[in-house]
Structure 1
Amino acid sequence: MTEPHDEGSSAPAFPVPRTCPYRLPDEYVGLRESEPVSKVTLPTGREAWILTRYEDVRAALNDPRLSSDRGDPDYPMLVEIAKSDKDSNLSIAGMDAPEHTRARGAVVGEFTVRRMEAMRPRIQAIVDQCVDAMLAGPKPADLVRAVSFPVPSLVICELLGVPYTDHAFFEDRTSTMLSMTLPPLTRQRAFKELQAYLDELVTSKEKDPTDDLLGRQIVKARKKDAYDRDALADLAFLLLTAGHDTTGNMISLGTLALLERPELRARLLDDPAGTPDVVEELLRYFTITDIITARVAKEDVEIGGRTIRAGEGVFALGGAANRDPAAFANPEEIDVERGARQHLAFGYGPHQCLGQSLARIELEIVYTTLLRRIPDLRLATEADSLPLKNDVAIFGLRELPVTW
């Protein structure tokens, strides 16, 4: 078992907050160059390893000896979590094979490219609705509140069959849970409240399975006599929390880059077919989930020439990997011509993000709609004064004031 950090250790503190929308912490860049597999001290006082090179991160995320089991007492946590919360593995995100393979296989059909593409007209309508409301309101407007979070919240609510009237509740509980600075009891209370909400939702759908993801999963599992209501509630928890927060933050950061870089705006407006390339490069460049990909070694593993012992925790830093010059030429530049589809913004290996096709479509539609419908959209403040979400596990902007 990994021991609590010794006060005499020289392992640096982790994570390091981002202080600029466009830059990763200099500490990660320095470690990638000098000590790409290195020990750090977590806020809990324990030590873990961090990986900062692209090659090492990919290897770790695809290695079955590195476990995703959040119930493991050695699993590296950035914040203290009550044992009862650890016992909830957040469905497939906290499973290893073969359980993970079976659970993912049961739901992966809901997220095929074809099914997600079929949602494109509805997503476009949701984006237009949010843009209409913003244009009808006062200037300047906060794009975070007007578009960035309402769009993915509405989309994931419709996909799962969650009443959108409850969006303020689950958005608030999600941000509270992801905080790395709020007291443990506060985070735990938010976790329990959201868990209870989704448990009630699943109970209602058991009585009347509606034509949405949760309803279809209930019908499908019952036909196979394999229905597990707790597992479905955990899946709903994972999809609801991950499905709006990540995409919402990428909408804000990507829009900021588009507003500050006229060449990117021109690329989207003049060459709609090239929109996917712009989205992929923005995903690589920002990599907002840089610090949440954690694992625990089930046995000794050698990565990057270092031995990670059984019971030791590992954080595979996708953001540092996506800025690795060994994988991407001039990685600190936004270059839509690079074809960055091998980036790690959605992870890699068996746990690669289920909803990545949906996220891509949402980003494509939001970016192009904003620039097409509001050609004079611009920042209403200086970029360096924007409040950052650097005290939570998923990076983003708290506000993005815009005008037109």
Structure 2
Amino acid sequence: MTNSVTQAPPAFPMPRSCPFGPPPQYEQVRREAPISRVTLQDGKQAWLITGHAFARKFLSSDKISSNRANPGFPQLIPGVASVPLKGTIVAMDPPEHSQHRRMITNEFTVKRVKQMRPAIQRITDRSIDEMLAGPLPADLVEALSLPVPSLVICELLGVPYADRGQFQGRTKIILSRNSTSEQRRDTALWLRQYINGLVVGKETEPGEDLLSRLIDKYRDIDAYDREALTGIGLLLLVGGHETTANMISLSVASLLDDPELLAGLRERPERTPQIVEELLRFHSIVDNATSRVVIEDFELDGVTFHAGDGVIVAAAAANHDPDVFTRPDQIDIDRGARHHLAFGFGIHQCLGQNLARLELEVVLNTLFARIPNLALADTVERLPFKSDALVYGIHRLPVTW
């Protein structure tokens, strides 16, 4: 493999044509060179990694950085570098990242997340109750996909649920490629100010919530920084509901579009964790969160990365690599896909992955058990998919029963 370029690098991001699958261009690019060059919207070039093995090797390197303020970092959304980042651990490097990660990790262990199952079940049941009492067709996005993870993360952080609508609308602005730099920056500032006010209140009146516990943890080691905790809270709030909400919608649509797969879930609900894992691999909705910038020259399988190079690891491409996943464009719950990259890889692997898995499991089992005749109210081809967003999903999902 060489890093010579014989033609103009293709444009990135690459559009999806199949509503559920990754951009078809990924397959061609990976076949020609699993590490290749692309041209970004701002005219700059970056490396694109589409092979699974190469993605894992690259993300394991200590010669790469997640610092979005680095001039070489590949900006997939224009103006995102102007968004305030203090406390945003996904944009940190060791040793700063390591300290904050240690403080938060215990809050999302499998054991701690399992303790949230009753709350998730209660929230899911209430959302379905309200949907059943409403008119038909119902929009599953508004009735279930958004409320469940929003309520769960608000309860976890101690955020009043009455404020959730403000977060959902503003999150869409931040994650949309169509938002202006000014809109994105102003929205991020508003959200930070809100979380900051929440943190200030918990400094003197702590509750039984994650933010209150983190305040105590940081104070115990004399490292408390209100602004940094505000950034952590903002990241958890935005990331904790937007990604899971989109996965709920896509998962339900996929199951309703595949009667055999849905029958398998209904007949053996104990296999839902396997179905969830395969759906996470198949959809790979956060395709480009593993973007990095090189901070020290190094070579990977014949390709030389230089300091300042921007690199995009396309998770959806890696998760559809036929060298790792047989028949990758099919949903196969027997493949055992826990080595997928839907939650990233390396030191920045998603903190909330155990919570996301549990929410998906509870929602899918409960929804199809309570509404056995649930059906799409429109064809899959007519659904409004989020081709304009950094996190892939569906804007509206009309269903009936």
TM value normalised by structure 1: 0.95
Q: Distance between the aligned counterparts of 1:302 and 1:74, measured in 2? A: 18
Residues 1:326 and 1:157: Cα distance change in structure 2 (over 3 Å): same
- 1:91 CA displacement: 2.1
Asked whether 1:347 is paired with 2:344, we answer yes
Shift of 1:303: 2.6
**Where does residue 385 of structure 1 map in the other structure?**
382
Partner Cα distance (1:20, 1:167) in 2: 32
Give 1:82 shift.
6.8
> Shift in Å at residue 89 of structure 1?
4.6
SS at match of 2:22: coil
How many angstroms apart in 1 are the aligned matches of 2:86 and 2:248? 28
Q: Is the 8 A contact 1:174 1:241 kept in 2?
A: yes
Equivalent in 313, 317, 321 of residue 320 of structure 1: 317
Alpha-carbon distance in structure 2 between the residues aligned to 1:213 and 1:17:
38
> Residue 46 of structure 1 corresponds to which residue in structure 2?
44
Structure 1: tracts of 5 or more residues without a match: 1-8
Q: What is the rounded CA distance, in whole Å, between the counterparts of 1:182 and 1:124 in structure 2?
A: 35
Take 1:362 and 1:58, find their aligned partners in 2: how far apart are those partners? 27
Q: CA, structure 1 residues 83+341, in 2 after alignment: closer, same or farther (shift >3 Å)? A: closer
Give how far 1:291 is off.
1.9
User: 2:207 is matched with which residue: 197, 205, 210?
Assistant: 210
- Counterpart check, 1:72 vs 2:63: no
1:271 aligned residue? 268
Where do 5+ consecutive residues of structure 2 fail to align?
1-6
The equivalent position to 1:227 in structure 2, one of 206, 210, 224, is: 224
The one of 387, 392, 397 equivalent to 2:394 is 397
Partner Cα separation in structure 2 for residue 28 and residue 91 of structure 1:
30
Say which is worse superposed, 305-314 or 221-230, in terms of deviation. Answer: 221-230
Determine the structure 2 residue equivalent to 1:11: 9
Matched, 1:156 2:153: yes
* Per-residue CA distance 1:278-321 (angstroms, 9 max, x = gap): 11000000000012221000011223421121101001011000
- Aligned equivalent of 1:116: 113
Aligned-partner SS, 1:190: helix
Query: Is the CA contact (8 Å cut-off) linking 1:70 and 1:89 kept in structure 2?
Result: no
Equivalent residue, structure 1, for 2:3: none
**Paired residues, number:** 396
Q: Could you tell me how far 1:375 is from its partner in structure 2?
A: 0.2
**Residue 225 (structure 1) shift:** 1.8
Instruction: Please give the alpha-carbon distance, in whole angstroms, between the structure 1 residues aligned to 2:341 and 2:350.
Output: 10
Specify the alignment match of 1:329 in structure 2.
326
CA contact (8 A) 2:17 2:24 kept: no
Measured in 1, the distance between the counterparts of 2:244 and 2:52 equals 23
**Secondary structure of residue in 2 paired with 1:337:** coil
Question: How far 1:84 moved relative to its partner?
Answer: 4.8
Task: Determine the C-alpha separation between the residues in 2 that align with 1:247 and 1:303.
Answer: 33
TM-score for the superposition, normalised by structure 2: 0.96
RMSD: 1.4
1:38 and 1:51 in contact (8 A); partners too: yes
1:165 corresponds, among 159, 162, 182, to: 162
- The reply to whether residue 287 of structure 1 matches residue 284 of structure 2 is yes
Q: Give the deviation of 1:228 after TM superposition.
A: 1.1
SS at match of 1:278: helix
Query: Does 1:196 pair with 2:169?
Result: no
